[in-house]
Amino acid sequence: MVLPRLVAPLAFALLLAAAPPARAVDLSGSWTGRWESTSTGHSGPLRATFRPCSEGRWAVDFSGRFFKIFPFRYSVTLRVIEDGGDEVILAGTSWLGRMFGTFCYRAEADACRFEARYTSKKDNGVFRLERAN
């Protein structure tokens, strides 16, 4: 009989349809960590604040120190280019003026950690952050 063979696949399809959609990683809030230039070996403290700005995009304000005394602060919009549910891949660029040029970022993040590789004409390196308590 055909009816019993259709019940199991139909029940499975209904179960999948009723399941809540996978939630994207929420990066909102404050993060702390360090930056390191793999070109020069310079490093320093880094802070970031993440805010959702539109579907699949995050406004990120970075601040830190260079040579232990020179503060820096800038913002970038990172867009989600892959969403694995509990981890996202983000990318973006920011123009930091004639002296530093354009920085390109590619990052992996989950609910607790954020790691971004950056490249520019004069430098490249990594940002490693953890959610602030």
Give pLDDT, residue 97.
Answer: 84
When divided into structural domains, the chain yields a total of: 1
Domain that holds residue 62: 24-131
Residue 111 resides in a domain? yes
The CATH number of whichever domain residue 92 belongs to comes to 2.40.128.20
Residue 76 resides in a domain? yes
Residue 18 resides in a domain? no
Residue 5 resides in a domain? no
Residue 74 resides in a domain? yes
Residue 12 resides in a domain? no
3-state secondary structure of 87: coil
Residue 14 resides in a domain? no
Strand runs labelled E in the chain: 29-37, 43-54, 57-66, 70-83, 88-95, 102-109, 113-119, 124-131
pTM: 0.78
Residue 132 CA to residue 27 CA, distance in Å, equals 11
3-state secondary structure of 21: coil
Supply φ then ψ for residue 97, to 5 degrees.
Answer: 90, 170
The answer to whether 77 and 53 are in contact (CB under 8 A) is yes
Residue 9 resides in a domain? no
pLDDT per position in the chain (133 positions), as tens?
544 554 444 444 433 444 434 456 899 999 999 999 999 999 999 999 999 998 899 999 999 998 888 899 999 999 999 999 899 999 999 998 888 889 999 999 999 999 999 999 989 999 999 998 7
Could you tell me the CA-to-CA distances from 111 to 4, 116, 127 in Å, in that order? 43, 15, 16
